[in-house]
């Protein structure tokens, strides 16, 4: 089997809308987030199934990608990111599987085509709506219109800043996305129009905090950490969807938290 390794950045979403559509390439989410240099590497081995950090695992979006590409392989995922904590690991694994399978099996597809397959797989699996297109881009991605490249539209906040994150536990993306998302989408739309009017990191953090408060997903630990960072003059908000707080610069460690430090991944997902 040809060797191919893909790197896909982690992605933390600050706010979002849930835009449903029967066509998974049109479904997705608007919103904004941060692509992280902490991410996911994916390689293929002969066999089948998925493993994450050496353990057998189930990632439906990855299975769907391999089915769509009619490829059989064992997908080996490694990551330093916490799982099910709002870092887009399932979307990253799906996009990494698409990039490596394209290379190993010589499918000859373009980056947009591979992103479209991974985005559709993640949407159909119900495990995410907007991570894949953001991870494909890198930087501070703004999702202006939902969907895969043919339908979606992206922009970015121009900024050079590091981030920190701390994770207190897991949240189920599927449970939230399968619930009533109308109020959430209204709040996300409002946050997006404020960010489009002034696309700076300060606005991004501010509207992300408002969004997190409004949609009622804050847990006590998350709320306390965000308040602690604010109290020391920093900027923090909640990673959608995980029991995770992210901050600009050294906001969390300044507030006394044992946080991971991480630069922004200026590059989107790519083969190594």
> What character string, x for contact with a copy of itself (CB under 8 A) and - otherwise, covers 189-218?
-------x-xxx------------------
Instruction: Figure out which of the listed residues 20, 151, 189, 270 binds a copy of itself, where binding follows CB under 8 A.
Output: 270
Binding of a copy of itself at residue 37 (CB under 8 A)? no
Question: CA 149, CA 128: separation in Å to the nearest integer?
Answer: 16
Q: Does 262 bind a copy of itself (CB under 8 A)?
A: no
The window from 16-24, 41-49, 149-157, 216-224 that contacts a copy of itself (CB under 8 A) reads 149-157
**How far is the C-alpha of 103 from the C-alpha of 97, rounded, in Å?**
10
For residue 156, state whether it binds a copy of itself (rule: CB under 8 A). Answer: yes
How near is the Cβ of 272 to a copy of itself at its closest, in Å? 6
Q: Which stretch binds a copy of itself (CB under 8 A): 76-84, 121-129, 241-249, 262-270?
A: 262-270
Q: Does 33 bind a copy of itself (CB under 8 A)?
A: no
- Which residues between 159 and 188 bind a copy of itself (CB under 8 A)? 159-160
Among 139, 147, 242, 251, binds a copy of itself (CB under 8 A): 139
Please state whether 139 falls in left (phi above 0), alpha (psi between -120 and 50) or beta.
left
> Is the Cβ of residue 50 or residue 114 nearer to a copy of itself in the bound state?
114
Please provide residue 34's backbone torsions phi and psi, each rounded to the nearest 5 degrees: -130, 130
Q: Of 86 and 139, which CB lies nearer to a copy of itself in the complex structure?
A: 139
Q: Are strands 163-169 and 243-248 parallel, antiparallel or unpaired?
A: antiparallel
Between 1 and 175, name the residue whose CB sits nearer to a copy of itself. Answer: 1
Give the torsion through C-alpha atoms of 171, 176, 177, 180, to 10 deg.
-170
Report yes or no: 242 and 217 within 8 Å, Cβ to Cβ.
no
- Whether 245 contacts 166, CB under 8 Å: yes
Cα 91 to Cα 105: distance, rounded to the nearest angstrom: 21
For the bound state, the minimum distance from the C-beta of residue 248 to a copy of itself, rounded and expressed in Å, comes to: 14
Nearer to a copy of itself, 202 or 227 (CB): 202
Is 112 a binding residue for a copy of itself by CB under 8 A? The answer is yes
Q: Is 18 left (phi over 0), alpha (psi -120 to 50) or beta?
A: beta
- Does the protein bind a copy of itself through residue 9 (CB under 8 A)? no
The residue from 138, 152, 188, 251 that contacts a copy of itself (CB under 8 A) is 138
Q: Pick from 92, 93, 103, 96: which is nearest to 135 by CA?
A: 92
Across 61-196, the runs of DSSP E, i.e. the strands, are 74-79, 141-145, 153-156, 163-169
CA distance 184 to 207: 13
Contact flag: residue 266 with a copy of itself (CB under 8 A): yes
In the complex, which residues of this chain contact a copy of itself (CB under 8 A)? 99, 102-103, 108-114, 138-139, 142, 149, 155-160, 196, 198-200, 266-268, 270-272
């Amino acid at each position: 089997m040809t060797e191919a390794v893909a790197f896909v950045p982690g992605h933390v979403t600050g706010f979002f809308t849930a835009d449903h559509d029967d066509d998974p390439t049109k479904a997705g989410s608007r919103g904004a987030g941060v692509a992280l240099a902490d991410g996911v590497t994916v390689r293929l081995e002969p066999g089948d199934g998925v493993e994450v950090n050496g353990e057998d695992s189930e990632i439906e979006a990855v299975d769907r990608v391999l089915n769509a590409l009619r490829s059989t392989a064992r997908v080996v995922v490694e990551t330093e990111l916490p799982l099910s904590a709002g870092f887009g690991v399932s979307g990253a694994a799906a996009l990494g599987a698409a990039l490596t399978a394209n290379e190993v099996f010589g499918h000859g597809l373009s980056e947009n085509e591979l992103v479209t397959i991974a985005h559709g797989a993640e949407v159909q699996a119900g495990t995410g709506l907007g991570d894949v297109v953001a991870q494909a881009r890198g930087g501070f991605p703004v999702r202006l219109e939902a969907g895969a490249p043919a339908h979606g539209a992206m922009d970015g906040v121009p900024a050079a800043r590091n981030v920190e994150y701390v994770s207190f536990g897991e949240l189920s993306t599927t449970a939230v996305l399968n619930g009533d998302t109308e109020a959430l989408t209204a709040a996300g739309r409002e946050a997006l129009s404020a960010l489009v009017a002034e696309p700076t990191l300060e606005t991004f953090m501010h509207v992300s905090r408002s969004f997190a408060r409004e949609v009622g997903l804050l847990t006590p630990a998350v709320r306390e950490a965000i308040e602690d960072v604010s109290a020391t003059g920093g900027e923090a908000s909640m990673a959608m969807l995980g029991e995770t707080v992210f901050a600009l610069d050294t906001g969390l460690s300044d507030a006394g938290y044992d946080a991971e430090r991480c630069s922004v991944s200026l590059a989107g997902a790519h083969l190594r």
